[in-house]
């Protein structure tokens, strides 16, 4: 009896996928048996290979780290993804400004940027859901700050609901798999324009800027997008939108915090726990100025 290997889905860097039995892999190509023909896919065109296995389904369950993954996520159009996961992106408001965020756990845990909520104690979150009569917009005022880290510019919040409501969530992807030129898109509230979608590509996966590692993207990132998700075409969050470079003649210079950094923040969230009893919790202070060096005295 001949035993066939487990079928796999080969995700492509430019979008789309092929499904079949992977016969061989090398540095140059991946060979896939589609059943009716054999296909050779150049290695640099392969984003990742997802093998079907019953055991991998447990990876999609949210664990102690508060986030989930989706090993069977498939490539879709931006339109379909926005319709399917757009209600997991939220608007975060404080008395001094606003930003975006996204829900990662069904109990109401969500991610945004530290600079969106730093120094604040009053935070509201607006959730947009597709109801029977159109868009259902609900604002929650009882929002708890769980953890903050100014150096990473990440914050973990929790919507406290009296009925212990369960929220739909987004999975986290692998930012280390990103390739230059790979399509990505963002959902957020630039300048308060809620539920705005912008699309671009990965310019560079690992751009060092001001001592931090970022994903550089041509996706439009504007004030109000801060803290919102950067998605791949499988609907996985691969980055947290953070900033853009503003300069004369500069366009398409958006930056997102890598998903790998977000996962490390969540796994170590107890180290960044917010203490409301500490008046300094959540606040960041500017570094003190250095004294100017005295000019040399003439001899």
What distance in Å separates the CA atoms of residue 98 and residue 223, rounded to the nearest whole number? Answer: 9
Of 240, 254, 41, give the one whose Cα is nearest residue 156: 240
**Quick one: DSSP state of residue 172?**
B
CB 51 within 8 A of CB 211: no
Catalytic residue among 17, 87, 153, 198: 153
Q: Per DSSP, what are the bridge partners of residue 40?
A: 31
Phi, psi (degrees; rounded to nearest 5) at 80: -65, -40
Of 43, 291, 278, 297, give the one whose Cα is nearest residue 145: 278
Rg (CA), the chain: 22
Of 83, 227, 238, give the one whose Cα is nearest residue 157: 227
What is the three-class DSSP state of 111? strand
What distance in Å separates the CA atoms of residue 205 and residue 213, rounded to the nearest whole number? Answer: 9
Catalytic residue status for 151: no
In the numeric block, which tokens belong to residue 230?
A: 């950067």
Catalytic residue status for 115: yes
What would the DSSP string read from start to end of 56-77? Answer: GGGGGS--TTS----TT-----
Catalytic residue status for 275: no
Catalytic residue among 17, 70, 115, 175: 115
Burial class (CB in 10 A: 0-12, 13-18, 19+), 96: exposed
Would you please indicate which residues are annotated as catalytic (active-site) residues? 115, 153, 226
């Amino acid at each position: 009896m001949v035993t066939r290997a487990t079928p796999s889905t080969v995700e492509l860097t430019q979008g789309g996928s092929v499904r079949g039995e992977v016969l061989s892999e090398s540095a140059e190509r991946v060979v896939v048996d589609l059943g009716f023909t054999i296909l050779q896919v150049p290695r640099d065109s392969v984003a990742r290979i997802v093998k079907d296995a019953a055991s991998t389904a447990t990876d999609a369950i949210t664990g102690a780290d508060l986030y989930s993954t989706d090993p069977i996520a498939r490539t879709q159009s931006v339109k379909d993804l926005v319709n399917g996961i757009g209600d997991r992106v939220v608007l975060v408001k404080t008395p001094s400004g606003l930003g975006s965020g996204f829900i990662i756990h069904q109990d109401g845990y969500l991610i945004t940027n530290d600079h969106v909520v730093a120094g604040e104690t009053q935070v509201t979150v607006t959730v947009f859901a597709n109801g029977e009569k159109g868009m259902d917009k609900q604002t929650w005022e009882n929002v708890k700050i769980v953890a903050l880290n100014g150096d990473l510019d990440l914050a973990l919040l929790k919507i406290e609901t009296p009925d212990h409501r369960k929220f739909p969530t987004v999975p986290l992807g692998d930012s280390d798999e990103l390739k230059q030129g790979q399509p990505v898109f963002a959902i957020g509230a630039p300048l308060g324009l809620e539920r705005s979608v912008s699309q671009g590509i990965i310019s560079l996966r690992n751009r060092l800027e001001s001592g931090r590692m970022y994903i550089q993207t041509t996706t439009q990132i504007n004030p109000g997008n801060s803290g919102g998700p950067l998605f791949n075409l499988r609907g996985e969050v691969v980055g947290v939108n953070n900033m853009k470079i503003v300069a004369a003649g500069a366009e398409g210079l958006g930056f997102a915090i890598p998903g790998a950094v977000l996962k490390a923040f969540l796994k170590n969230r107890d180290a960044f726990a917010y203490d409301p009893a500490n008046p300094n919790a959540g606040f960041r202070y500017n570094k003190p100025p250095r004294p100017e060096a005295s000019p040399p005295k003439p001899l």
